[in-house]
Structure 1
Amino acid sequence: MHRPGALAAACLLAALSARCGGSAASGDGAAAPGCTLVEDGWGPAGTVPIRVERVATGLEVPWAIAFLPGGDALVTERPGRIRLLRGGALEAEPVATVPVVAEGEGGLLGIAADPGFAENRRFYTYHTADEDGRRVNRVTRWLLAEDRRSARVERVILDGIPAAVVHDGGRLRFGPDGQLYVGTGDAREPARAQDRGSLGGKLLRVTTEGAPADGNPFPGSPVFLLGIRNTQAFDFLDARTLVVGDHGPSGDTGRSGHDEVDVARAGANLGWPDVYSCDTGEGVTTPAIVWSRAAPPGGGSVYRGEAVPAWKGSFLVGILGARHLHRIVLREDGRVQAHEVYLQGEPPEGLGRVRDVQQGPDGAVWVTTSNCDGRGTCPPEKDVVARIVAR
């Protein structure tokens, strides 16, 4: 695991002690002492000076970014367009258009470039499709043209992922092991999250052909983590340890709020829908941090770049409803050492609803917004791709 910078140990801990509870829980079970419960707001204001540069504007819910060798990037727009960023500018014509069901939280969502992209030009997408009047989520493998201006489908590698108007998951990321990790939602049926036979409410680990990867915790199954409500954020702290953002109940099971970030390893159960907030449960991973008020988390990445040196080793997560970028500093034992809020509010002062968070090949933090998804305030510039560096 990466050690946090000196900033975290100095100026943030005092803010934490004044603003956040360290072990309280508001559920029905026993509270875990290692869980940080944020009872008032979302956390202290960020202390690292940063600068935001808008790389592309005029987009419609740019859900995910996949960087390619050489610095180009593919960007998904939820209505079904794959766009190309080349030389820091958005190409006018889509690389491809995908037929999708773009109602609610569905549509064209995650994207990831193959680890061997330089040789095979393959990438993968997660989208919501119509199958004889029924919604379903699929992971599809694509081949990008040599000039990167068009692409064609090779095959669907994973099908039958539960879909609904909400709780659709959608994040794709390749792990250090070269396997494809797929975040899914419970598609409005909480019991799916605990059912190992369902692809819903899980983090899946599959090969580039869509088969369960060797070494998965449940032999013959693609399930890597279970007990998830709706994850859009996960990344690797090290080769064996992930940090995962998940959405809280938002009214399900008669509860609300309590979005969370967890530190977990293969086979972990994050507890949904049985365990709530900072409560503990037998065989359940207790969150590292929980917000009492609804956040909820969009995309997230462990930052390893040099463009914002003070953030190195932190988990950076986009926050949708609470409209900001959140920085979390984790200790070696997976507990939260410090956390803080950046870019809060609507444009132009803030970025509004932050959806994806990625580290670019330039070492900067790249983010997308979802202000035009029907839940935010869509500004004249529409949604954006932005780049964040130290000021």
Structure 2
Amino acid sequence: MSRLAVGGAAAALLLAAAALSGCSAPPPGAAPSPQAPTLGPSPTVHAEAWWRAGAASGTLASGLSSPWSVVPLAGGGALISQRDDGAVLEVTAGGDVRRVDTIPGVVSGGESGLHGLALREESGTRLLYAYFGAAEDNRVVRMPLLGEPGSYALGPAEVVVAGIPRASTHDGGRLAFGPDGHLYITTGDAQQRDAAQDPAILGGKILRVTPEGEPAPGNPWGTEVYSIGHRNVQGIAWTADGTLWASEFGQNTWDELNRIEAGGNYGWPVVEGAAGREDFIEPVVTWATSEASPSGIAAYGDTVFVAGLRGERLWQVDTTDGELVRSPVAALDGAHGRLRDVVAVSDGSLWVLTGNTDGRGAPRADDDRLLRVELTPAT
């Protein structure tokens, strides 16, 4: 497998000028999840495989507090999770922001709290899934999403997966429905380093379960576990060719973008970054931790977009059949501070969520935003 370690130079930004608009309905052939194309195969209607992000063309929402995950809604608008207060917000197609509800049982502290959201429609019922830190563990619940745009509410919560180790750091937290219809859950080692190599422990893993929370058929160990040897995975997405990708925080030296395979062992804590060992799967790209600290990722065509926290950049990684095509290119380099999440919407843009109010220093009030970024084909 080809791989690359990326230095600090970033390519020039591509500029795009476009008015704000909501997320249009996914085109025919996109993944069945309402979050497509980000959390499933990207639209196949585009002939171009690789894409570039321009400068932010507008702000969809502002005044957010420790936002963590954004889910576009078919027909316009989005849902956003806030880590520290456990709130789910609605951003309407017109740009208004309102609190939908607070997820019951969220216990915030350190880097733990309300993390990823995912949306699924079943027999006409919309179910919102949420990953969060509870008093004793990290867990995933689901709730009916009730009402209409501008007045959404949440129904009673039902536990889907519990018993994921939690700590003040390394809590994972991203949710995504894959093209196979199953729910993928990223977890961290919760400061239990050796747990990442133990398939019987849910920490330091990527999990794959049915929408009800049972181990998905075909999982390599017959449990919820899909891959092992992860330190702290906070991003997951599928490119148009069906390849599953995940971003991973390193410790002191190397952050990673990995191609995920069922039963794969990604090396932590034995190795960080590339080690040239046949018993571990090598990362496709590594970055110095100062250049990335990757959180959410998105895919459009066969380009993977990686949101960097400490690196304050949006890395653009062009792939073919799960392999790197050329050196990654940076966009939004320092223009908006820390980047927490990115999603691709089917109208040809990215939505980028900043994460400045949960930095290591004193938070900057009302500093976090949901930005719109136009995409153009790569040349």
For normalisation by structure 2, the TM-score amounts to 0.83
Deviates more, 1:295-304 or 1:197-206: 295-304
What is the CA distance between 1:35 and its match in structure 2? 2.2
Cα contact 2:239–2:303 (8 A) shared by 1? no
- Identity over aligned pairs, percent: 36
The AA in structure 1 aligned to 2:197 is Q
2:18 corresponding residue in structure 1: none
What is the CA distance between 1:139 and its match in structure 2? 0.1
Equivalent residue of 1:177, what SS?
A: coil
Equivalent of residue 153 in structure 2, options 147, 150, 153: 150
Separation in 2 of the partners of 1:281 and 1:136?
A: 33
The AA in structure 2 aligned to 1:297 is P
Equivalent of residue 264 in structure 1, options 260, 265, 275: 260
The AA in structure 1 aligned to 2:175 is L
Equivalent residue of 1:153, what SS?
A: coil
1:140 corresponding residue in structure 2: 141
5+ long unaligned stretches in structure 1: 1-32, 250-255, 305-312
Equivalent residue of 1:192, what SS?
A: helix
The AA in structure 2 aligned to 1:78 is R
What is the CA distance between 1:333 and its match in structure 2? 5.2
User: Quick one: structure 1 residues 97 and 277, their matched pair in 2 at CA, closer, same or farther if it must change by over 3 Å?
Assistant: closer
Cα contact 1:161–1:200 (8 A) shared by 2? yes
Separation in 2 of the partners of 1:90 and 1:319?
A: 27
Equivalent of residue 342 in structure 1, options 325, 331, 337: 331
Equivalent of residue 92 in structure 1, options 76, 87, 98: 98
The AA in structure 2 aligned to 1:300 is I
1:224 corresponding residue in structure 2: 226
Separation in 2 of the partners of 1:317 and 1:376?
A: 23
Cα contact 2:296–2:342 (8 A) shared by 1? yes
What is the CA distance between 1:106 and its match in structure 2? 0.4
C-alpha RMSD of the superposition: 2.0
1:316 aligns with 2:282: no
Separation in 1 of the partners of 2:340 and 2:102?
A: 21
Cα contact 1:117–1:123 (8 A) shared by 2? no
Separation in 1 of the partners of 2:213 and 2:224?
A: 9
1:338-380: CA deviation from partner (whole Å, max 9, x where unpaired): 21111122xxxx1111011101243310111110013267445
Equivalent of residue 271 in structure 2, options 271, 275, 282: 275
What is the CA distance between 1:47 and its match in structure 2? 4.5
Separation in 2 of the partners of 1:152 and 1:78?
A: 20
Equivalent of residue 81 in structure 1, options 68, 83, 87: 87
User: Quick one: structure 1 residues 83 and 191, their matched pair in 2 at CA, closer, same or farther if it must change by over 3 Å?
Assistant: same
User: Quick one: structure 1 residues 154 and 101, their matched pair in 2 at CA, closer, same or farther if it must change by over 3 Å?
Assistant: closer
Equivalent residue of 2:200, what SS?
A: coil
User: Quick one: structure 1 residues 291 and 91, their matched pair in 2 at CA, closer, same or farther if it must change by over 3 Å?
Assistant: closer
Equivalent of residue 237 in structure 1, options 226, 239, 249: 239
Separation in 2 of the partners of 1:336 and 1:185?
A: 29
The AA in structure 2 aligned to 1:340 is V
What is the CA distance between 1:117 and its match in structure 2? 5.3
User: Quick one: structure 1 residues 314 and 118, their matched pair in 2 at CA, closer, same or farther if it must change by over 3 Å?
Assistant: farther
1:299 aligns with 2:296: yes
5+ long unaligned stretches in structure 2: 16-53
1:322-346: CA deviation from partner (whole Å, max 9, x where unpaired): 111111112435135221111122x
Q: How does 1:1-391 map to 2 (within 5 A)?
A: 34-38=2-6, 40-41=7-8, 43-49=9-15, 50-52=54-56, 53-79=58-84, 80-114=86-120, 116=121, 119-130=124-135, 135-147=136-148, 148-219=151-222, 221-237=223-239, 241-249=243-251, 256-294=252-290, 295-304=292-301, 313-332=302-321, 334-345=323-334, 350-375=335-360, 378-379=363-364, 381-390=366-375
Cα contact 1:353–1:376 (8 A) shared by 2? no
What is the CA distance between 1:195 and its match in structure 2? 0.4
Cα contact 1:81–1:98 (8 A) shared by 2? no
Equivalent residue of 2:155, what SS?
A: strand
1:309-330: CA deviation from partner (whole Å, max 9, x where unpaired): xxxx210010001111111112
Deviates more, 1:153-162 or 1:292-301: 292-301
The AA in structure 2 aligned to 1:232 is Q
The AA in structure 1 aligned to 2:157 is E
Number of residue pairs the alignment of both structures matches? 333
What is the CA distance between 1:234 and its match in structure 2? 1.2
Equivalent residue of 1:197, what SS?
A: coil
The AA in structure 1 aligned to 2:71 is A
Deviates more, 1:88-97 or 1:162-171: 88-97
Cα contact 2:273–2:286 (8 A) shared by 1? yes
Separation in 1 of the partners of 2:284 and 2:320?
A: 10
Answer 1 or 2: higher relative contact order, Cα 8 Å, separation at least 6: 2
What is the CA distance between 1:100 and its match in structure 2? 1.8
Deviates more, 1:159-168 or 1:89-98: 89-98
For normalisation by structure 1, the TM-score amounts to 0.80
Equivalent residue of 1:337, what SS?
A: coil
The AA in structure 2 aligned to 1:212 is P
